[in-house]
Structure 1
Amino acid sequence: MPPRPKSRRNRGLPEYLTWDSARGQYRYTHPTRKTRHYMGADKATAIQAAQRLNAQLIPADADLVEQVTNSGAYPSRGRGKTWAHAVSAYVEHALPELDLGQDTARKYRTYLRRLHDCALKNLPVDGIEVKDVADALDTITSGKRMRNVYHQQAIEVFRYTIQLGWRRDPNNPAEATRKEKTKRQRERLTREQYDAIWAQAPHWARVGMDLALQTLQRIEDVSTLQYTDIRDGALYVVQQKTGARIRIALSGPLEDVIERSRADSRACPYIVHYRPRRLPPRDRWAAGRTHPLQVMDETLSRAFSAARDRVGVCAHLPARRRPSFHEIRSLGAALYRDQGWPEDQVQQLLGHRSLAMTAGYLEGHETPWTDVSSGLCRE
């Protein structure tokens, strides 16, 4: 198959020299390492530099047979594998081993598809440098939060390639790129605000709120907890997002929440349940609904937000910045810390993989003052 014709801007340029329209500069790609170097916008200067580089890096008497023979040995040693190969291998072999929830795994695959098709796609993974990764992340997204998401995914892919031996350099180039500082968008929820919202919420939503406060679980896990998950004096939770398996001992407050959930005497396997005014036919049920009295997480979230707005919590802020149901998880973590729980124990209840993530949840909740006495005696 003949090669694709060069674009108008690249016609007449030496080998490995191209015009980068995004930067408005000429770019030279190293023939073997595939690293990119920018030559400025002056065409004559760039051509002269590229010709000199080609003369040094591509000897005229190179043995073509030897080149083909050597390149054939690359795949067995992992060299010659491109970034696209690396991402595909990670998705196929490493991602399933993380045991992620279905929704989270689907999000990760979406992020990894974009990384697969980014500017690194055809670069050999053994030759990718920090600058290459930084440039690629900048072209994928301009949002700080999403850049950090792609940044972390790139780190994991490079770690995987290093483990496979596809990179001779053990340093991870993605780890050396900057991580953006992001500001929390939503306001934290205080205990006083929680109590005010709780007083305005319907009975079934109070049950969901208290379950979240006591167990620190996400809304999708709270809404799917069933009475059969209670056994041997504990509540068994398998987090949908992370796959973490958590066994929570039944304490007095948690038992009270579960008992209150039974007060309506309605037969439903789900702890959080209610009878809606109108339920569509079974063939039109939302995905994930298995019982007519089941409360979907969207319904629980809307009930919390409606009670919050009736009370007027953070009414001066736009809706996207007011505390959401998810902030109950952060509030509960802070309350456990204030009661003397060490952060690693709070981390276990949250199901976080690292203390750094737990610290992020505790951020914004001030640690209470410790009362101490003073008064040294004068000599």
Structure 2
Amino acid sequence: MRLRPALPARLPARLTVLVLAAAGLAALPAAPTATAAPVSTTVSFTNCVLEDFSDGTPTTLARNQSWSPTISLDVPGVMPARTAQPAQIGLTDLPAGTFPSDLFSATVTASMLLGSDDQEFPQNLSTSATVDSFNAGQALPLPLIDGMVSEPNSGFTTYRAVAVVVAVVGTDGAWSDRDFRFTCDRLQRPPALRDVAVYDLDADPVLSPGLFSARQGQPVSFGLRNMLTAAPTDPPARVVLRLDGTVLARVPLDGTGGGVPTLAIPEFLPPGRDLKVTATNGSRVARARITIEARKAKLAAPAAVRSGARLRLTGAEFKPGERVALTLAGGTGAGTRRYTLVATADRRGQLDAVVTLARAASGSWTVTALGRSSGRPGSDTFRVR
């Protein structure tokens, strides 16, 4: 059987219904970086419908038919937003016996609804070819589907096989015009065909911290979008991330012009400050703010001590060499109820201080510490007998 290209046929009526129904497709998580090579996937359809449109109105000939074609999709792995890109789709032969009768001077039309995660409605691609004669008892080779696709926004998206329609129009042995259409869809869970990275040089650059307040030393993820100044390159362009002017990292951009780097906030930044985070790639600059919170230091006191005895306090995770203010307060009986002193953390940020609890009131006590430059607090409790 020889296929000859023909003008694309009009979108079948049932396909129009499928396009509207597919508006309910849910966006899925972002896909991995797209590659440039064509991909092939075997897709199982189990609810295919065979219809006869010969009289102008559809007559259902069979329901719940199965077909598992291998679908190959060739589209650019990286593409600019809102710019038509060539797409080519291949389908394996339709099995023998799918259509009910032989035809001659026939036109075979293969159509696919190609869904993507970032679009409400799938894109329809369709190609037709003519055949001198069509033998219903033999497998039907399908024409290669050529078309154009585009994506509205930057980001990773996944192309999915929403529906396939094969239409055969021709003349049967009784010289009657026949129009058969075989429709298969996967509206609920359309299978993935391939991943694509979409970039947008006109969109505003975006920097989104995963947290708007973070503790000293805490890892924070930063979401980057639309940071490219030109089409993606290999090696990739890099964004410079700065915290209040200090370079934190140089981050490679993916094909969408984005990335999700995770960086640690410097250990001993003074807390309470609203710091500016800046992402820069040439003329592309994005800004955000993040508030620094103090991380808790460790402070330990003995469980109990006698009034008048020496109390040893130990601590860790202060800034090396910083002065640490210590306050002891408590007790319910007669005697002193408050002591203060200042100690110095060693080069490892550890603390070792001794205070004499002269005439200390008995009862429950609390000791608190505050690093004067790191702002790190610590506390513990003990009893005075």
- TM-score normalized by structure 1? 0.20
> Higher helix proportion, which one?
1
Which structure's CA Rg is the greater one? Answer: 2
- TM-score normalized by structure 2? 0.20
